[in-house]
């Protein structure tokens, strides 16, 4: 059940009418039931696995609280390792099994006939990181243990962020779930707008771009020379529109119910260097990795060389978090090298120029390196990297550029340009600057076009992660 599907719109509308007119206690119960209903539409087996994860992490946190400080570490390590193994078994075991089978063939053996029949629970990467951050915060005594099992279950089953995040911090979400928060008219209106605009971006920008990419990149062996110079930025805008659209939907749904979620994107394509880019793209993941992996490894406290080794480790983990495959590993290492390379230039003093020309070149270069990196998501073997490089050695035919794509991405560019001009990171900023009637017509037009769009609806890109 996608956010941009009519079935979700109708289900949520009925739920919201009842939710809005209910007491605080009943609202929490309704939130939990709707979260279970929403997630179970993706599979009953995955729902039972999620409940198992909830019970386990709730129990570990309670155990930590009841244990003396000098005996807590083994319990904490057990909890973290179990979560990592839980994610690893369901997400990476089949890939590792296939890799071992390939090695066996190379050594003269036979391909393994038997394969384990494992499901990949949707959203497992997000809710596992959700739970790991909770255990870390409890262990570091930054937040109190959530003793109410009902509230903790709702923390994991909060449906706006259940499938694709953002990976909300427990210190922000749990207190909101526990407090009696009135729903204001501004929250309802802003939430409605954010959801409508998110649906529009997903259905009317991301989906057409996705279909263009799928039609033109069936195999790296059959591509026209230089076409990847066109495909790469198209994929970049597709992924951005897809995930940004989902994030706006999640923020809008949460805000309409009285909750505030973090902003996951802050105009990343206006970044003039890789470091700035990753402070504005998928912010909940990048800050999660910074706080719970990079800093725990020592961050930048142990010298320039160790700092960059830590960065490469973080980006390797970022790659495998996104998926089980050679392309994801290579993608993570590629982006790690880009970031380390930038930091090396900064260390040598080559990045201190603030002239408009240098900044413009930095924006172009950062966007290009990110776009080309996304091609690695589509490779099936390491040898495909050489096919990509070979294609990029040629320039595209100017007639190959689909100018209709520029019209498709125009609303997204205008939106980001407006925010850049106003220097705001609030997605609902320009709504508050316009008359209510005009904005109402504006968003209704967007949602109408999105729901009756002649294009088939696509799954959100990040569902595969």
- Answer yes or no: do 190 and 175 share one domain: no
Task: Give the number of other Cβ atoms within 10 Å of residue 267's Cβ.
Answer: 18
Q: Which domain holds residue 145?
A: 6-180
The mean per-residue pLDDT over the stretch 96-106 comes to 71
Answer yes or no: do 442 and 425 share one domain: yes
- Asked if 422 contacts 414 with a C-beta cutoff of 8 angstroms, the reply is no
Asked if residue 96 is part of any domain, the answer here is: yes
256-288 per-position pLDDT tens digit: 999 999 989 998 999 999 999 999 999 999 999
Chain-centroid distance of CA 233 in Å reads 19
Task: Please give the torsion angle defined by the CA atoms of residues 170, 173, 174 and 179, in that order, rounded to the nearest 10 degrees.
Answer: 160
Q: In angstroms, rounded to a whole number, what is the distance separating the alpha carbons of residues 462 and 242?
A: 8
CA nearest neighbour of 256 among 202, 197, 203, 195? 195
Provide the b/e sequence for 135-150 (b: ≥16 CB within 10 Å).
bbbbbeeebebbeeee
Percent of the chain predicted with pLDDT > 90: 46
Closest CA to 156 of 4, 286, 36, 30: 36
Question: Do residues 140 and 192 share a domain?
Answer: no
Catalytic residue (one of 21, 130, 282, 322)? 322
pLDDT, the chain, mean = 85
Write down which residue in 123, 157, 180 finishes a domain.
Answer: 180
At residue 451 the predicted structure's pLDDT band, cuts being 50, 70 and 90, is low
The pLDDT tens digits for 177-189 are 998 888 998 889 8
Residue 292 in domain? no
Does a structural domain hold residue 334?
no
Q: Is the separation of the CB atoms in 30 and 22 below 8 Å?
A: yes
Tokens found for residue 46: 């995955």
- 322 an active-site residue? yes
Q: So what's the pLDDT on residue 431?
A: 54
Q: How far is CA 150 from CA 58, 114, 366, in A?
A: 10, 41, 45
SS3 label, residue 147 = coil
pTM for the full predicted model: 0.88
Cβ contacts of 292 within 8 Å, gap of 6 or more: 132, 133, 136
Residue 11 and residue 159 in one domain: yes
Looking at 148, 163, 180, which one is the last position of a domain?
A: 180
Q: Is residue 303 in some structural domain?
A: no
Torsion (CA) 151, 153, 154, 159 in degrees, nearest 10: 170
Model confidence band, residue 368 (pLDDT cutoffs 50, 70, 90): very high
C-alpha dist (Å) from residue 38 to 32, 43, 91, 275: 10, 10, 22, 36
- pLDDT tens per residue, range 307-350: 899 999 999 999 988 887 888 899 999 999 999 999 888 888 77
Is the residue at 293 inside a domain?
no
Percent share of the chain, pLDDT over 70? 86
Q: Which of 180, 197, 231 is the last residue of a domain?
A: 180
114 & 244 share domain:
no
Same domain, 86 and 132: yes
Span 366-376, average pLDDT: 94
Q: 262 with 386, same domain?
A: yes
Same domain, 370 and 240: yes
Residues 28 and 172 in one domain: yes
pLDDT of residue 412: 81
Structurally, how many domains does the chain consist of?
A: 2
Judged against a pLDDT cut of 50, whether residue 452 lies above it is answered with no
Q: Give pLDDT tens digits for 51-92.
A: 999 999 999 999 999 888 888 999 999 999 999 999 988 888
267 and 397 within one domain: yes
Does residue 393 sit in the same domain as residue 246? Answer: yes
Q: Which two tokens stand for residue 248?
A: 């706006």
Q: Is residue 387 part of a domain?
A: yes
- Please check whether residue 390 lies inside any domain of the structure: yes
Shared-domain flag, residues 167 and 190: no
Asked, for residue 338, whether it belongs to a domain, the answer is no
């Amino acid at each position: 059940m996608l956010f941009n599907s009519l079935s979700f719109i109708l289900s949520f509308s009925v739920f919201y009418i009842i939710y809005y007119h209910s007491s605080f206690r009943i609202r929490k119960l309704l939130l939990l039931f709707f979260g279970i209903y929403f997630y179970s539409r993706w599979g009953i087996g995955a729902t039972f696995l999620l409940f198992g994860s909830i019970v386990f992490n709730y129990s570990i946190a309670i155990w930590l609280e009841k244990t003396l400080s000098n005996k807590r570490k083994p319990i904490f390590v057990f909890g973290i390792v179990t979560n990592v193994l839980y994610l690893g078994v369901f997400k990476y075991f089949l890939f590792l099994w296939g890799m071992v089978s390939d090695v066996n063939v190379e050594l003269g053996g036979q391909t393994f006939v038997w394969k384990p029949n494992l499901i990949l629970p949707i959203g497992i990467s997000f809710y596992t990181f959700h739970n790991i951050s909770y255990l870390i915060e409890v262990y570091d005594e930054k937040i109190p243990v959530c003793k109410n099992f009902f509230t903790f279950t709702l923390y994991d089953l909060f449906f706006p962020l259940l499938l694709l995040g953002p990976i909300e911090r427990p210190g922000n979400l749990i207190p909101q779930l526990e407090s009696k928060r009135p729903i204001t008219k501004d929250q309802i209106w802003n939430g409605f707008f954010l959801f409508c605009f998110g649906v529009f971006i997903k259905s009317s920008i991301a989906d057409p771009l996705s279909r263009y990419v799928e039609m033109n990149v069936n195999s790296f062996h059959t591509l026209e020379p230089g076409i990847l110079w066109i495909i790469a930025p198209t994929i970049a805008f597709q992924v951005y529109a897809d995930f940004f659209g989902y994030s706006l939907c999640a923020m809008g749904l949460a805000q309409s119910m009285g909750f505030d979620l973090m902003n996951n994107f802050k105009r990343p394509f206006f970044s003039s260097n890789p470091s700035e880019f990753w402070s504005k793209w998928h912010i909940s993941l990048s800050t999660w990795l910074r706080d719970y992996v990079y800093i725990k490894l020592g961050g930048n406290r142990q010298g320039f060389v160790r700092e960059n080794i830590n960065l490469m480790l973080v980006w390797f983990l970022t790659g495998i978090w996104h998926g089980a495959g050679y392309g994801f590993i290579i993608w993570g290492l590629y982006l790690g090298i880009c970031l380390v390379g930038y930091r090396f230039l900064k260390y040598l003093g080559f990045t201190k120029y603030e002239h408009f020309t240098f900044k413009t070149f930095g924006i172009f270069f950062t966007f290009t390196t990110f776009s080309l990196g996304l091609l690695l998501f589509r490779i099936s073997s390491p040898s495909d990297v050489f096919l990509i490089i070979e294609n990029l050695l040629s320039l595209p035919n100017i007639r190959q550029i689909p100018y209709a794509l520029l019209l498709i991405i125009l609303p997204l560019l205008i939106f980001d340009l407006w925010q850049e001009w106003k220097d705001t990171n609030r997605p609902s900023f320009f709504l508050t600057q316009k008359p209510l009637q005009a904005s109402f017509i504006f968003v209704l037009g967007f949602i109408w076009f999105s729901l009756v769009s002649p294009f088939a609806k696509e799954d959100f890109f990040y569902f595969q992660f």
